[in-house]
Amino acid sequence: MGMAILFRDFTNVNLFYQAMIELAKAPGDEMIISSGYFKPDVIDNEFKSSLTKGFRDPKNAKITVIGGAWKDHNISANNCSQKKNVKFDEYCWECGFEDFWRKLERAIKPIKLEYTNIPFELGEKWHGKITLKLKKDSNNLGVIGAIIGSSNMTPSAFYPDAKYWNSECDIFLWDDTVFTPSIIKKYTKPNKQGLKIGLPLAIEVNPLHFEAQDLLNNLYEEIKNETTIWNLE
């Protein structure tokens, strides 16, 4: 299992975006995309192409989208589908989530799409940024790659040329028996500590002292348990 720590400190290079492309292209059977916030703008041609190519059997594949860091529609927002003649320059994140999965659904046919908006009223504002790619082996699903971190599925976090962006940090893990991300070779080089460090800052770590595959599979089970507890599976 390979692992890299991806930092964003540059405007013109975005390792999170490149990692999402790599993970989407990895050969698997299911994908989970969880984020605090969503905007449909992130579904560009390259991301769309990577998603449709990254499943071994598209007709039996599935993508699940999880969101919920908002209470309800922001009817005062300029682009809220339910606004009531109130003009205010804000974005409705409920609409952003709906617009995202609707655009994704059109982009990935015939791949099945499921979406879960975890209700704010349950007392927990879902804000987890977790993307998992899973592969079925003997009817058992196992995680072959994951991106866990601070970046949302929004243009400011997703694109290298975003006008407004934050210094994000994301963890990229992958099963190196299935695929090896090209960005790791491009942006890193070995040093004496066994880390591979490059600019933009990407640190590749060799996790010798734990079973990363078990950790990722446990993470997948926890996400399933959360949605089951809330009767949203």
Write the pLDDT tens digit of every residue in 116-135: 776 655 445 678 899 999 99
The 10s digit of each residue's pLDDT in 54-75 is 999 998 999 999 887 677 788 7
What's residue 209's pLDDT? 44
Contact 14, 158 (CB under 8 A): yes
Domains, the chain, with CATH or none: 11-169+211-229 (3.30.870)
Q: Judging by DSSP bridges, how do beta strands 112-117 and 62-67 pair with one another?
A: parallel
Q: Are the C-beta atoms of residues 73 and 82 closer than 8 Å to each other?
A: yes
Cα–Cα–Cα angle for 23, 24, 26, rounded to 5 degrees: 65
Which DSSP category does 5 fall into?
E
- H-run or E-run covering 50: helix 45-53
What's the whole-model pTM score? 0.81
Which of 30-39, 123-132, 170-179 has the weakest average pLDDT? 123-132
Length of the chain: 233
**Would you say residue 21 has pLDDT above 80?**
yes
Q: What is the pLDDT of residues 204-227, one digit of tens each?
A: 555 544 466 676 777 677 667 655
